[in-house]
């Protein structure tokens, strides 16, 4: 009887694709931790502590970029290679990678593999999974190769690096940027290139493309031919919302960064106005959950840190390499608020009505995110005496898998670092995915309860 119950539980757990995604991410993190703990992974040839290895592996797989040690000086070539592989696997998606391997080997996908890939890529049609997977692979390869080539040429001819070093620097940062990871090989991230648009702009482009989400990128590519033949755009509501919200948030972030830091001698104040605009745009782009910085985050005003927290919390597009609650969630909530203020019975945007379940999902994701950030901030404040604004910034950065930091990541005790590890893991998988993965089964209510309206406000 006990054996049968165990088999039933395993069957229930394996039947839900979201659970498989959670287990796969956890397994890769454990594997990465083991590899990074090896003496060969460290520059000094000594074994790395468990907490440091686990933190770095989680940050890489969850494409965050927070680090307790300097990537470029602490890790050996083998260790940096492991981190780069973890970034690529984490950004591309564990189940997407597994599905592609199965596709290459057998030329077809089993139904369960399709369902699992559907949970990872957010594809709406199971029959489209094969096309989506191939599109994801092609898009990733093209963007990373293109951005890596531009950066390699700049590092070679602009800074005199050897061909090997230039290619290594270029493609490491290209992979890290497109996957919104934020891992760099310099202790100061990209601050040494703050006045060089040939470095910062390609990185920003890769971050934006990765942050839009694979469904949007694939739809843009798919409809490019249709627009040439018909002269019309036929984008879905998801693509329209993602693009519109991304443009608005990038513009708002650039404007506010410039306004708040324009005269700060330790950040934008040290540059001429074209370089100020460049770095303001770069900082706004990095809040899409990338993690690179061309300005000293620790030297920014508290008001700028708060603004950055809000942008990081929103994040980027769904089913991409970005974190946060996602721009579509933010847009849906904004539309719902506007409709309620106007007294309209339904929420509508761009000629489309939003269903009640969409509003409930957006509200659930946002409130779970707020609750998790507040709980984690309270827990970390009880373990350290660091300033509140810096702790809050670190928590939001971990939850939204951003990687921006004021420089206090290594100052947290082991208990605090474990809290950040958990935040990165939950932030990468998404609160709703994690909750559904822990649920034993889905229940449907077969009856309706009487309706009653409580007093609100």
Q: What confidence score (pLDDT) does residue 24 get?
A: 85
230-258 pLDDT, tens digit each = 555 678 888 899 999 999 999 999 999 99
Q: What confidence score (pLDDT) does residue 448 get?
A: 79
Q: What is the mean pLDDT of the chain?
A: 86
Q: What confidence score (pLDDT) does residue 230 get?
A: 54
Give percent above pLDDT 70 in the chain.
Answer: 83
pLDDT band at 345 (very low <50, low <70, confident <90, very high): confident
Highest mean pLDDT: which of 348-352, 373-377, 436-440?
373-377
Buried b (16+ CB within 10 A) or exposed e, 327-366: bbbbbbbbbbeebeeeeeeebebeeeebeeebbeebeebb
Q: What confidence score (pLDDT) does residue 440 get?
A: 43
Q: What confidence score (pLDDT) does residue 127 get?
A: 57
292-317 pLDDT, tens digit each = 999 999 999 999 999 999 999 999 98
Flag whether pLDDT at 153 surpasses 60.
Answer: yes
Structure tokens at 148: 């890596």
Flag whether pLDDT at 14 surpasses 50.
Answer: no
Q: What's the mean pLDDT in 192-197?
A: 95
Flag whether pLDDT at 226 surpasses 80.
Answer: no
360-403 pLDDT, tens digit each = 888 988 999 999 999 999 999 999 999 999 999 999 999 999 99
Q: Please tell me whether the overall predicted TM-score, pTM, comes out greater than 0.85 for this model.
A: yes
Flag whether pLDDT at 18 surpasses 70.
Answer: no
Output 23 or 370, whichever has higher pLDDT.
370
Read off φ and ψ for residue 348, nearest 5 degrees.
-140, 150
33-63 pLDDT, tens digit each = 999 999 999 999 999 999 999 999 999 999 9
Q: State the CB neighbour count (10 A cutoff) for residue 444.
A: 4
Structure tokens at 243: 């693009």
Q: What confidence score (pLDDT) does residue 12 get?
A: 46
Q: What distance in Å separates the CA atoms of residue 121 and residue 346, rounded to the nearest whole number?
A: 29
Q: What's the mean pLDDT in 412-438?
A: 82
pLDDT band at 123 (very low <50, low <70, confident <90, very high): low
Give percent above pLDDT 90 in the chain.
Answer: 61
Q: What confidence score (pLDDT) does residue 344 get?
A: 86
pLDDT band at 152 (very low <50, low <70, confident <90, very high): very high
Flag whether pLDDT at 346 surpasses 50.
Answer: yes
Q: What confidence score (pLDDT) does residue 150 get?
A: 97
pLDDT band at 447 (very low <50, low <70, confident <90, very high): confident
Q: What confidence score (pLDDT) does residue 361 get?
A: 83
Write down the domain spans for the chain: 14-438
């Amino acid at each position: 009887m006990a054996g049968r119950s165990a088999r039933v539980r395993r069957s229930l757990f394996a039947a839900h694709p979201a659970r498989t995604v959670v287990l796969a991410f956890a397994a890769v993190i454990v594997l990465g931790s083991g590899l990074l703990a090896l003496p060969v992974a460290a520059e000094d040839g000594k074994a790395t502590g468990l907490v440091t290895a686990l933190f770095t592996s989680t940050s890489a797989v969850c494409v965050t970029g927070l680090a307790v040690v300097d990537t470029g000086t602490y890790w050996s070539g083998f260790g940096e290679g492991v981190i780069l592989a973890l970034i690529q696997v984490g950004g591309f998606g564990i189940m997407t990678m597994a599905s592609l391997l199965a596709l290459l080997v057998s030329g077809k996908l089993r139904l369960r593999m399709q369902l699992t890939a559907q949970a990872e890529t957010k594809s709406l049609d199971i029959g489209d999974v094969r096309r989506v997977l191939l599109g994801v692979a092609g898009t990733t390869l093209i963007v990373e190769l293109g951005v890596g080539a531009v950066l390699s040429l700049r590092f070679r001819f602009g800074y005199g690096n050897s061909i090997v070093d230039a290619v290594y620097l270029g493609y490491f940062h290209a992979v890290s940027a497109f996957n919104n990871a934020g891992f760099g090989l310099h202790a100061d991230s990209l601050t040494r290139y703050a006045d060089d648009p040939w470095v910062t702009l390609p990185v920003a482009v890769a971050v934006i493309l990765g942050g839009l989400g694979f469904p949007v990128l694939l739809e843009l590519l798919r409809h490019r031919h249709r627009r040439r033949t018909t002269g019309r755009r036929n984008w879905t509501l998801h693509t329209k919302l993602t693009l519109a919200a991304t443009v608005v948030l990038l513009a708002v972030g650039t404007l506010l960064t410039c306004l708040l830091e324009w005269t700060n001698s330790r950040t934008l104040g040290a540059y001429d106005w074209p370089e100020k605009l460049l770095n303001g745009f770069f900082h706004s782009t990095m809040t899409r959950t990338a993690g690179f910085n061309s300005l000293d985050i620790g030297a920014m005003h508290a008001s700028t840190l708060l603004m950055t927290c809000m942008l990081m919390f929103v994040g980027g597009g769904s089913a991409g390499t970005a974190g946060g609650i996602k721009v579509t969630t933010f847009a849906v909530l904004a539309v719902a608020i506007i409709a309620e203020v106007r007294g309209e019975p339904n929420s509508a945007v761009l000629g489309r009505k939003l269903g009640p379940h969409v509003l409930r999902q957006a509200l659930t994701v946002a409130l779970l995110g707020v609750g998790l950030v507040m709980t984690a901030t309270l827990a970390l404040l009880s373990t350290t005496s660091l300033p509140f604004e810096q702790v809050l910034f670190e928590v939001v950065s971990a939850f939204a898998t951003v990687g921006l930091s004021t420089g206090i990541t290594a100052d947290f005790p082991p208990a605090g670092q474990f809290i950040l590890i958990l935040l990165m893991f939950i932030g990468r998988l998404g609160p709703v995915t994690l909750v559904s993965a822990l649920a034993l089964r889905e229940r449907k209510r077969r009856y309706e309860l009487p309706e009653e309206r409580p007093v609100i406000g």
